[in-house]
């Protein structure tokens, strides 16, 4: 536990020392909010309360999803090896980073919600807070998988592969336009991705439908995704260890 | 301090280490010598729990490598061939982080870092990054990183490669002093054989993943009727070490 707080604190200090990357990794959802949101709101498809949950998932994909980028350098410079030679458990070495990513993402997510409120978002506070929590759970999985990919792919492949992967995953989640509009085949493909369930769960929270099956699915899939991510990430940190 | 039997490591088709037996006693400085690609780093990474051996057994610093890797990690320090610092972070922060991961409190960690940096002739570099440091300074910094938790056993992988002769001599002085003062056991790799001759109580020569000769430098030299360890190397492998040791 102490090792975890020490690591998370260290990484947070490093992140806040680099304000540019704090803003940059949330830039895409912000651009969609400001430049696409007003259109969406008037399109008749749905209101801000439909769009913003999608942008939270997009944030998870861009912010937590690209988290692995940092570990590429740590691996190259021997920092990771030096951490692995300490007695700290491998899951802690992973979670120290993931927790930092969650804190960063929460700050970004709050900022998006505040900006959206200024633009006209109206949603129950309890629902929005619960949505932030659910977004965090999703990001645990996302960041962990990002580290797994970063330690598995060749160094120079990580950035192009991940930034390319994020696009179809986001489109298939229905983050930008609800999948209820989709033709059957697209709907089916979309259901094969975890983010579809997260988006719909978040929308349920923003709509205040706390007893909907969409919310149950959103929670179950996000939790399963987080567990899967941490398990794979830990085993990647563990691999090759004695 | 180290007892290994039949250690092997295979990477796909490459047999990097082909059955190594090792015994290192407490307080010894042992040199692990061989050309590039001989399997030195691979062996060190196995003994430091960073790499799972394909086969074999080992106890390191009194703990079984497989049964209790965490205990091994607590008792050893490891200075990797490529260093341990990213160039964009103040070195003090990294050292304090590392010390705290070994269980030191924030105050203890800061104090330990200050003391160690002073001992290694690097006083007050905490706020700097490695970008502004010389090769010798960086290497001493790596050694500080490996000593934070007062390990019983220190692994040094090519600590002097790429340094000028003066920095090399300076670094060896530090290693000698650590052994004399703290009784530290040191297992190091190098391909500067004249330095190994001067510093090490015992050397192991590794070639192609196998130990081909071992003993005290003087013993080895008289055994092979050689004047230098380079000549011993030539005698046991039929090759000059330097040819294979460009880097
Ligand atoms: N991770 C790895 N994957 C594949 N081959 C490796 C790996 N690490 C080392 N090798 C190979 O194992 C052999 C021994 O390497 P190494 O232990 O680094 O030698 P040394 O440290 O003596 O120069 C070399 O042929 C090297 O290419
Ligand atoms: Mg090596």
Indicate the top mutation candidate among B35, B39, B157 to test ligand 1's pocket, ranked by most ligand atoms within 8 A of CB. B39
Ligand nearest to the Cα of B241, by number: 1
Q: Nearest CA to B122 among B110, B133, B137, B135?
A: B137
3-class DSSP state of A203 = helix
Ligand 2 centroid–CA B41 distance in Å is 4
- Name the residue of B8, B9, B11 to mutate for ligand 1: max ligand atoms within 8 A of Cβ: B11
How far is residue A148's CA from residue B11's CA, in Å, rounded to a whole number? 21
Q: How many residues does chain B have?
A: 247
Question: What residues in chain B have their Cβ under 8 A from chain A's Cβ atoms?
Answer: 46, 48-53, 65-66, 69-74, 76, 78, 80, 82-87, 89, 93-94, 97-98, 100-103, 145
Phi first, then psi: what are they for A104, rounded to 5°? -60, -45
* B44 in Cβ contact with B189 (< 8 Å): yes
Predicted ipTM of the assembly: 0.90
| Residue B191 and residue B168 in contact, taking contact as beta carbons nearer than 8 Å | no
Tokens of A13: 């200090």
Q: In whole angstroms, what is the distance from residue A80 CA to residue A69 CA?
A: 13
A24 touches chain B (CB under 8 A): no
Residue B224: its pLDDT value, please? 84
For residue B136, how many other CB atoms are within 10 A of its CB? 20
CA of A80 to the centre of ligand 2 (A): 17
Closest ligand relative to B157 C-alpha: 2
Only one residue has tokens 């298939």, namely A172
Nearest to B83 among A74, A77, A241 (CB): A77
CB nearest A78 (choices: B46, B49, B82)? B82
Residue A83 at interface with chain B, using a CB cutoff of 8 Å: yes
pLDDT of residue B234: 82
Chain B interface includes A10 (CB < 8 A): yes
Specify the pTM. Answer: 0.90
Ligand 1 atom closest to B206 (CA): 22
Kindly list the strands in the beta sheet with B185-190, ordered across the sheet, starting from the edge strand earlier in the chain. Answer: B76-79, B153-157, B185-190, B29-33, B202-207, B210-215
For residue B99, the chain A residue with the least C-alpha distance is: A86
Q: Cβ separation of A241 and B49 shorter than 8 Å?
A: yes
Which neighbouring-strand residues pair with B23?
Answer: B3
pLDDT the model gives residue B231: 83
| pLDDT tens figures, A116-161 | 999 999 999 999 999 999 999 999 999 999 999 999 998 889 889 9
Report the residue of A82, A94, A240 to disrupt the B interface, i.e. the one with the largest count of B CBs within 10 Å.
Answer: A82
User: Can you give the pLDDT of all 247 residues of chain B as single tens digits?
Assistant: 999 999 999 998 999 999 999 999 999 999 999 888 999 999 999 999 999 999 999 999 999 999 999 999 999 999 999 999 999 889 999 999 999 999 999 999 999 999 999 988 899 899 999 999 988 899 999 999 999 999 999 999 999 888 888 888 888 888 899 899 989 999 999 888 888 888 999 999 999 999 998 999 988 888 888 888 888 888 888 777 765 444 3
What sign for the dihedral angle of Cα A64, A70, A76, A81? negative
The two three-digit tokens of residue A216, written as one number: 């149950």
Helix, strand, or coil here: B164? coil
Q: What is the sign, positive or negative, of the torsion defined by CA atoms of A81, B46, B76, B72?
A: positive
Exposed/middle/buried for B113, CB within 10 Å: 0-12, 13-18, 19+? buried
Q: CA B95 to CA A150: how far, in whole Å? A: 25
pLDDT value, residue A122: 95
The answer to whether A241 contacts B97, with C-beta atoms less than 8 Å apart, is no
Decide: B52 in ligand 1 pocket, CB within 6 A: no
CB pairs A-B closer than 8 Å: 77
Give the DSSP H/E element, type plus range, for residue B10: strand B2-11
Residues lower than pLDDT 70 in chain A: 1, 240-242
**pLDDT at position A241:** 59
CA–centroid distance, residue B156 to ligand 2 (Å): 10
- B207: helix, strand or coil: strand
Q: What is the pLDDT of residue A119?
A: 95
- Please indicate whether residue B37, judged by its CB atom, sits closer than 6 Å to ligand 1: yes
């Amino acid at each position: 536990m102490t090792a975890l707080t020490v690591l998370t604190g260290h990484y947070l200090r490093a992140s806040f020392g680099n304000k540019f990357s704090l803003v940059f990794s949330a830039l895409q959802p912000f651009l969609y909010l400001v430049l696409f949101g007003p259109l969406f709101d008037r399109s008749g498809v749905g209101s801000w309360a439909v769009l913003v949950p999608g942008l939270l998932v997009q944030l998870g994909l861009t912010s937590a999803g690209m988290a692995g980028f940092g570990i590429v350098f740590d691996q190259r410079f021997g920092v990771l090896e030096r951490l692995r030679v300490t007695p700290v458990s491998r899951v802690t070495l992973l979670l120290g980073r993931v927790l930092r990513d969650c804190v960063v993402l929460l700050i970004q997510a709050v900022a998006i919600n505040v900006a959206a409120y200024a633009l006209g978002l109206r949603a129950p506070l309890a629902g929005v807070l619960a949505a932030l929590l659910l977004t965090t759970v999703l990001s645990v999985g996302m960041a962990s998988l990002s580290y797994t990919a970063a330690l598995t792919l060749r160094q120079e492949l990580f950035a192009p592969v991940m930034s390319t992967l994020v696009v179809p995953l986001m489109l298939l989640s229905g983050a930008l336009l609800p999948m209820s509009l989709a033709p059957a085949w697209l709907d089916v493909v979309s259901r094969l991705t975890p983010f579809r369930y997260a988006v719909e769960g978040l929308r349920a929270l923003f709509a205040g439908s706390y007893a909907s099956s969409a919310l149950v699915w959103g929670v179950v899939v996000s939790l399963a995704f987080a567990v899967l991510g941490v398990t794979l990430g830990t085993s990647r940190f563990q691999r090759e260890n004695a | 301090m180290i007892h290994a039997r039949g250690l092997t490591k295979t990477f796909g088709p490459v047999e990097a280490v082909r059955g190594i037996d090792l015994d290192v006693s407490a307080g010894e400085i042992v040199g692990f010598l061989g050309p590039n690609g001989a399997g030195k780093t691979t062996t060190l990474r196995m003994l430091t729990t960073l790499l799972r051996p394909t086969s074999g057994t080992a106890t390191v610093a009194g703990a079984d490598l497989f049964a209790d890797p965490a205990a091994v990690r607590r008792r050893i320090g490891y200075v990797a061939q490529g260093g341990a610092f990213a160039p964009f972070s103040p070195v003090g922060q990294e050292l304090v982080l590392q010390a705290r991961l070994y269980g030191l409190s924030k105050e203890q960690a800061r104090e330990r870092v200050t003391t160690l940096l002073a001992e290694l002739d690097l006083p007050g570099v905490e706020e700097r990054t490695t970008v502004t440091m010389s090769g010798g300074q960086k290497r001493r910094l790596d050694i500080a990183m490996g000593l934070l938790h007062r390990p019983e056993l220190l692994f040094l992988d090519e600590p002097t490669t790429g340094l000028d002769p003066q920095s090399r001599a300076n670094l060896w002085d530090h290693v000698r002093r650590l052994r004399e003062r703290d009784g530290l056991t040191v297992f190091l790799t190098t391909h500067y054989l004249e330095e190994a001759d001067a510093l090490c109580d015992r050397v192991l020569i590794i070639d192609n993943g196998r130990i081909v000769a071992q003993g005290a430098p003087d013993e080895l030299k008289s055994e092979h009727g050689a004047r230098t360890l380079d000549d011993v190397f030539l005698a046991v492998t039929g090759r000059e070490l330097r040819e294979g040791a460009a880097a």
